[in-house]
Amino acid sequence: MKLLIFASEDGEAREHLVSLASGLVQPEFIEHFSSLEDFSRSLRRPLLGESLALIVASNKQELERLVSLNRLLRDLRLILILPDHDRDSVVMGHMLRPRFLSFSDGDLTDVAAVLAKMLAINPRIQGRR
């Protein structure tokens, strides 16, 4: 099982999420992506077992592109961080059927709590057997 993190823009939200994930998951179980093409390519490879994705959409255009990957994301447990509170963004975000939805202008402690809970349900991602 892997934790896939997609965040195309370097910034505070990305650094915070990577730091957060590093505190919860052993590094060998984390894959980081800053390019949507690389992320998409990774999703096309067979994933062993259940995987978790933490996705930060930097803007509406990127969110639209993520929605176009809906078929590739359907088998992943997904935490999605939207770029804004706009109704269209929220509607598009829900099209991806995330387990949890948050916003990039928040402090992301809610994301940390949800991620920790999802990892507790699947301890193998932390390296325990």
- CA nearest 13: which of 80, 70, 62? 80
Whether 65 shows a pLDDT value over 50: the answer reads yes
User: What is the mean predicted confidence (pLDDT) over 69-83?
Assistant: 92
Split into its structural domains, the chain has a count of 1
Torsion of CA 97, 72, 114, 117, to 10 degrees: 120
Instruction: Give the pLDDT score at 67.
Output: 97
pLDDT tens for each residue of 82-110:
999 999 999 999 999 999 999 988 878 88
Instruction: Give the pLDDT score at 48.
Output: 66
Instruction: Give the pLDDT score at 11.
Output: 67
Give the structural domain span for 49: 3-126
The domain spanning residue 37 has which CATH number? 3.40.50.2300
Place of tokens 């939805």: 101
- The mean pLDDT value of the chain amounts to 86
Lowest model confidence (mean pLDDT) among 6-15, 22-31, 67-76:
6-15
- The span from the CA of 67 to the CA of 63, in Å, is 6
